[in-house]
Structure 1
């Protein structure tokens, strides 16, 4: 950073601090990011459909999610796993140590039918096995086989390459800030999404927007 840039940064901080008593560095940085985004906006044709601020944010997150899915499914070729959802299921089984089927399925935000079918395919390929719970024989618990653990380890290395590729242009501070800003969204909806699956969107919207 040059001397002129440093002077400009100090000036901007001084102006921000005057307007916001008790200002923090984090708040100042967020303010500068907002200003930069506004300056980058360009005029668009009036007849074009353009998202509002909320829509633009969700659209960006969604597109990044699609990049992740597309590249991950390619990276998984040859690992024994066919798609990112299978990897997510295997991770839950590994981390939770003998979970029941519903925990694995709903933990990956899948519906019961498609989740059950996916688990059946993993079992057929010899990657997982199931056994009856000791206290309730009606309940089936899941575990990885030796083949499954090997496949999971291989798949993890491939997925680490994908996420590095997607985030390489961000600094660690950028990544921490993104996580900090988006974590509340994940926390809010993780707690309610399963309970709301049988409800209409009108009911869901009211429940999630009323303070």
Structure 2
């Protein structure tokens, strides 16, 4: 069958089922329902959640753990002990001299654990802490020359790790993944601190009701 005719027929079937669907919706639907590539190996350790939301989150979670494991291998022999320290240095590098709390919450740490990590990095000479000129109760942080060098070395290592893990995806697939997932990251990054201390069931009802 001519490819143009095939795609028009596919669009016609989709439009009958979802009359309010957009072209972008159709494209996502079409890609999602194509014959999937055979998976070599066991998916998510063999325990596959029946809920599709659960399966998606488990895949994301396991990829995140694998990223951390390989990233920590990549950072071996550098000034950085773990990938979280890399994230902290990159935040400070981008923001120049951010507030201590901005660095902690920007990297999704609790205040106590984030403070402990910053203190350890300060003792190792990677960062410098000083009082905020406008708010003496706050502290600001900047990279030392040693920290700047560690940030660059770490960046080279972590970029190699990212390319390795995502090597089997095409550039278009990577862009599609980012497009589909970025709003979840932005949304809950802005909300998680506000939700602390609340009952999960109340948060669930509020967030699901929004949609």
Name the residue aligned to 2:44.
Answer: none
Cα gap change, 1:20/1:206 in structure 2, threshold over 3 Å: closer, same or farther?
closer
Name the residue aligned to 2:84.
Answer: 85
Q: Could you tell which deviates more after superposition, 149-158 or 198-207? A: 198-207
Aligned CA-pair RMSD: 2.6
Poorly superposed stretches of 4+, deviation over 6 Å:
3-7, 37-40
Distance, in Å, in 1 between the alignment partners of 2:176 and 2:191 is 25
In structure 2, runs of 5+ residues without a counterpart are 39-46
Whether 1:57 and 2:56 are equivalent positions in the alignment is yes
In structure 1, runs of 5+ residues without a counterpart are 41-47
The answer as to whether partners of 2:108 and 2:189 remain within 8 angstroms in 1 is: no
Q: How far 1:188 sits from its partner (Å)? A: 1.7
* 1:143 aligned counterpart, secondary structure: strand
Q: How far 1:182 sits from its partner (Å)? A: 0.8
Cα deviation, 1:107-137, whole Å, max 9, x if unaligned, reads 1111111100100010000000011111222
Name the residue aligned to 1:205.
Answer: 204
Name the residue aligned to 2:157.
Answer: 158
Name the residue aligned to 1:34.
Answer: 32
Whether 1:120 and 2:115 are equivalent positions in the alignment is no
Q: How far 1:159 sits from its partner (Å)? A: 0.3
Name the residue aligned to 2:181.
Answer: 182
Cα gap change, 1:137/1:49 in structure 2, threshold over 3 Å: closer, same or farther?
closer
Q: How far 1:6 sits from its partner (Å)? A: 7.2
